[in-house]
């Protein structure tokens, strides 16, 4: 079955540590995205990538970094510079960034930083 795999489902880190969230897709989608969800808020776009080796900042990119070395993979690093890293992180993909295709989401990673 094709889909998006995010791992791990739950992640705990100490403040000041960088942490990398994994996202893999086997849908052969060109575009991939990272969103963050906080209680009572909609999903907010962190970073997106329309093609391998290229990515763009979303609305809340500060304190995050990404890479897109392979079409299937789009890992997100939450750095110590991110002021409020505790959140539910969702990775998504779409066939392309043109024509506004629907996004397909993974099941998310809940990150808790103490």
- Give, in degrees to the nearest 5, the angle at Cα 34 between 105 and 86: 105
Contact pattern from residue 43 through residue 62 relative to other proteins, giving x for each residue in contact according to CB under 8 A and a dash for the rest: xxx--x-x-----x-x----
* Sheet with 19-25, side-by-side order of all strands: 4-7, 19-25, 76-78, 64-66
When asked if residue 108 is in the footprint of other proteins (CB under 8 A), the reply is yes
Examine residue 87 and tell whether it contacts other proteins (CB under 8 A).
no
- Least separation in angstroms between residue 92's CB and other proteins is 7
Q: Is 41 in the site for other proteins (CB under 8 A)?
A: yes
Can you say whether the dihedral through the CA atoms of 90, 94, 97, 99 is positive or negative?
negative
Determine, following the binding rule CB under 8 A, whether residue 92 of this chain makes contact with other proteins.
yes
Burial status of residue 81 (CB atoms within 10 A of its CB: 0-12, 13-18, 19 or more): exposed
> Per rule CB under 8 A, is residue 16 in the interface with other proteins?
no
Q: Which residues bind other proteins (CB under 8 A)?
A: 4, 6, 9, 31, 33, 35, 40-45, 48, 50, 56, 58, 90-92, 94, 96-108, 110
């Amino acid at each position: 079955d094709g889909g998006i795999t995010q791992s791990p489902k739950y992640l705990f880190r100490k403040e000041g540590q960088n942490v990398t969230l994994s996202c893999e897709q086997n849908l052969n989608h060109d575009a991939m995205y990272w969103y963050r969800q906080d209680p009572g808020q909609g999903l907010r776009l962190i970073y997106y990538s329309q093609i391998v080796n290229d990515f763009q900042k979303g609305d809340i990119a500060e304190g995050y970094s990404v890479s897109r070395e392979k079409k299937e993979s789009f890992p997100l690093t939450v750095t110590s510079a991110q002021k409020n890293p505790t959140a539910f992180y969702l990775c998504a993909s779409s066939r392309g960034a043109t024509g506004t295709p629907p996004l397909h989401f993974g099941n998310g990673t809940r990150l808790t930083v103490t």
